[in-house]
Chain A
């Protein structure tokens, strides 16, 4: 009896859900809870807040490069136009459209580590695991999207973040400051996200002169060349390509091997 009433109340409630803001809200008060949450973790923000966040995040990221969450916030607050363009690009490509449809996530819970471990040496899966081990990173350290005001675009930027590690593997770049800047250059050319462009332009500020020389003379031209040659990396369904040898995938995307072994630098 109680359950019947409950089901009826649930159905009734769904139709009654208010579309207007609660009376307590004043235009200046952007509440972070209420009927307008598009996805869990969503924090609706006003344009003023986005501007302040972008400025603050940019400053903090430069001041303390270990604040990866600030880089993420910068990406979310500045990327709305570019994300729309990227989403449309993904829709045009069949593999990209499949990704948008199925919304795969790369995290430790969705990855079958034992299966990846069993793959042959040189395959994408093995190389990715190797990359995670060597650099001591985990796919779960990516912060969830919070400030994007569109649910599909929130997924696009989340996918971009999770693919970032794949790019490190594809480009053979380590996760030190120099490697990150190189990957940012590649991503800036590929995606055009303002955060990537800013990261690419201002990231080198924190590098030593020795690294800067290598960066400007060899790595940046290489990254730009590959970025222009390769198709949109967001359109690659990596989860279906674990067995593919890394060299084959690189050839497919037109990515040449890195010019110099840069482990010791930065």
Chain B
């Protein structure tokens, strides 16, 4: 990555003026030189161009999207394997808990944002399918006096095994969606899935179109989290639920130290050995530290217009599920 040099310059010089020096010194940097032509007026009046964090680096907001895209493009093929190794399989429990908390009923329209490889979507489909079957069985049991013709009709009709449920998997990254689609085929999920390429900050959906919006381990990679939350609010139907599964801050100091040690010493090594990519996994663990803590994120969700916002810490705060309603 060409960015390392520039971040040194950002950190040591607070003023916006130094930006120009940072970028011009990097070989092969793509940025042109707008500042040189602005003259002295630019020194005092120039608004500091928007900067944000990319892990522990500081980059411009425009760059962050591209860099995050590259990270996920690189990790897509080994994403699931790495998740299993890094979390020792615990991520499966976290995702199961999310679906259990959601308790979707057949007929739910779910938007799974940053759903990439489809973990949440497939769990949702299995859950609603099981719920639907349970309901049908319950219904059959109560209907004691059906004639055999009616029973035969029930078996013959092309029943939708999902009861009208649909999950739209939306992700900004093509590679992640490709992996997800392949997984769907491998696991036999044929119905109830829609795959959409889209940006969380600007969703390609109409207002009030989904019952539930989930984003699992995706929102910390979004450049403008508040915009993503506003979009979530927009596309949910009134009464709809927002659910976010994301890494949080650990309160317990001992666990926090162990967690830090594991994150920074071990995870990039695993990334290098298994996936041949140190830097992507370095970014992933750094981005967790940069994400607001559970309380701050709760406030951000409330700012976007959600109500009854709560959060639940899992695994001593390593992960948290935030929930809010559009009322």
Contacts and interface: CB of A to CB of B under 8 A. Distances in A.
Q: Do A and B bind each other?
A: yes
Overall SS of chain B's interface: helix
B4 A33 contact: yes
Interface string B252-286: 00000100110011101110111010110010001
Contacts of A31: 56, 286
A32 B282 contact: yes
Given A52-B266, A53-B269, A17 B40 contact: no
B90 interface: no
Contact of A29 (B8, B42, B260, B278): B260
Given A9-B18, A13-B21, A26 B260 contact: yes
B261 A28 contact: yes
B21 A9 contact: yes
B13 interface: yes
Which of B57, B266, B272, B279 has the most chain A CB atoms inside 10 A of its CB?
B272
Interface of B: 1, 3-5, 7-9, 11-13, 17-18, 20-21, 24-25, 35-40, 42-43, 56-57, 257, 260-261, 264-266, 268-270, 272-274, 276, 278-279, 282, 286
Nearest to A43: B278
Nearest to B4: A33
Given A2-B38, A2-B39, A24-B56, A30 B265 contact: yes
A49 B40 CA distance: 48
6 contacts: A22-B11, A26-B260, A30-B265, A34-B7, A53-B272, A70-B273
A18 interface: yes
A18 B18 CA distance: 15
Interface in A11-60: 13, 16-18, 22, 24-26, 28-35, 37, 43, 46, 48-49, 52-53, 56-57, 59-60
B269 A2 contact: no
Nearest to A42: B4
Contacts of A134: none
B36 A37 contact: no
Closest 6 CB pairs of A and B: A56-B273, A33-B4, A52-B269, A29-B264, A28-B260, A2-B36
A92 B147 CA distance: 100
Contact of B39 (A1, A18, A48): A1
A201 interface: no
Contacts of A48: 265
B260 A10 contact: no
Interface of A: 1-3, 5-6, 9-10, 13, 16-18, 22, 24-26, 28-35, 37, 43, 46, 48-49, 52-53, 56-57, 59-60, 67, 69-70, 73, 146
Contact of B17 (A9, A35, A56, A67): A9
Nearest to A69: B276
B12 A17 contact: yes
Given A34-B8, A43-B278, A13 B18 contact: yes
A56 B269 contact: yes
A70 B276 CA distance: 8
Which of A6, A25, A57 has the most chain B CB atoms inside 10 A of its CB?
A6
A35 B8 contact: yes
B17 A17 contact: no
Contact of B7 (A1, A33, A146): A33
B267 to A, nearest CB: 10
Given A16-B13, A26-B260, A28-B264, A60 B21 contact: no
Nearest to A26: B260
B21 A1 contact: no
Given A29-B260, A46-B265, A53-B273, A13 B36 contact: no
A34 B38 contact: no
A151 B71 CA distance: 27
A46 to B, nearest CB: 7
